[in-house]
Chain A
Amino acid sequence: AQSVTQLDSQVPVFEEAPVELRCNYSSSVSVYLFWYVQYPNQGLQLLLKYLSGSTLVKGINGFEAEFNKSQTSFHLRKPSVHISDTAEYFCAVSLSGGYQKVTFGTGTKLQVIP
């Protein structure tokens, strides 16, 4: 069975500073990895996904993530955050092949401070 750990429940950061949101996964087989964002009072939307190939994945709104198989990590980064990035971010994993059971982490609340 797969699982996801998001190490930080809240991350405060000043506007225009860089940010990294951490995600580690556990699986004995190959996986697909996703980052979703939930803005206040809105539904979840996909930021980016890793399926295979290049380990650096670029997503919407200037976010990117790097897949590291040896460390079983998929950390999300942005070089310069804006107030509008204040939201909750969820890492998710599913197994490559078989039924698409998608498991989410507990979420990280990003608070951008002006």
Chain B
Amino acid sequence: DVKVTQSSRYLVKRTGEKVFLECVQDMDHENMFWYRQDPGLGLRLIYFSYDVKMKEKGDIPEGYSVSREKKERFSLILESASTNQTSMYLCASSPRTGNEKLFFGSGTQLSVL
């Protein structure tokens, strides 16, 4: 089975801190994604990557950046965390073709105080 692993299940940070969320997949998938999930808003795409060192902005990239130095790892960076970035963050991966399902990690619940 494909495994998408997110480094932390729960994370508490202070306003202004730099935050790194890590995601690793073990199935050699080309595509990787970062979403945030908020009640009533569903999943909103922050960034996605279709290859090493390649990235594309999603629908809500403001306040975030990403890094993909290796194929299996996709990092989400909050340069200066703010309280409105408190959310559940979901990482996902999929093969290159656009018709495959996404494999999701178990999520990181980030609280910014």
Judge whether B48 and A43 touch: CB under 8 Å.
Answer: no
**B27 close to chain A: CB less than 8 A:** no
Chain A residue numbers with a CB within 8 Å of B101 are 34, 46, 49
B5 to chain A, nearest CB (A): 12
Contact A44–B90 (Cβ < 8 Å): yes
A97:B98 contact, CB within 8 angstroms: yes
Closest chain B residue to A48 by CB distance?
Answer: B101
B45 & A100 in contact (Cβ 8 Å cutoff) = no
Interface size class for chain A?
20 to 34
Say whether, besides A9-B40, A44-B90, A102-B45, A95 and B104 are in contact (CB < 8 Å): no
Supposing A100-B50, A100-B94 touch, asked if A43 and B106 sit within 8 A by C-beta, the answer is yes
A51 sits at the interface (CB 8 A): yes
Measured between beta carbons, the chain A residues less than 8 angstroms from B107 are 43
Which of A14-22, A62-70, A76-84, A103-111 lies on the face that meets chain B? Answer: A103-111
Tell me the nearest residue of chain A to B31, going by C-beta. Answer: A100
Most-contacted residue by chain B among A32, A99, A105 (CB, 10 A): A99
Residues A102 and B42 in contact, CB atoms below 8 Å apart: no
Q: In the A-B complex, list the 10 residue pairs whose CB atoms are closest, starting with the nearest.
A: A106-B42, A104-B43, A100-B98, A46-B101, A107-B42, A51-B99, A43-B104, A44-B104, A99-B50, A104-B42
Task: Please list the residues of chain A having a beta carbon within 8 angstroms of any beta carbon in chain B.
Answer: 6, 9, 32, 34, 36, 43-46, 49, 51, 90, 92, 94-107
Interface residues of B (CB under 8 A from A): 31, 33, 35, 40-45, 48, 50, 56, 58-59, 90, 92, 94, 96-102, 104-107
Can you identify 28 A-B contacts, CB atoms within 8 angstroms? A9-B40, A32-B99, A34-B101, A43-B105, A44-B102, A46-B102, A49-B99, A51-B99, A90-B42, A98-B98, A99-B31, A99-B50, A99-B56, A100-B48, A100-B50, A100-B97, A100-B98, A100-B100, A101-B45, A101-B56, A102-B92, A102-B94, A102-B102, A103-B45, A103-B59, A104-B35, A105-B42, A106-B42
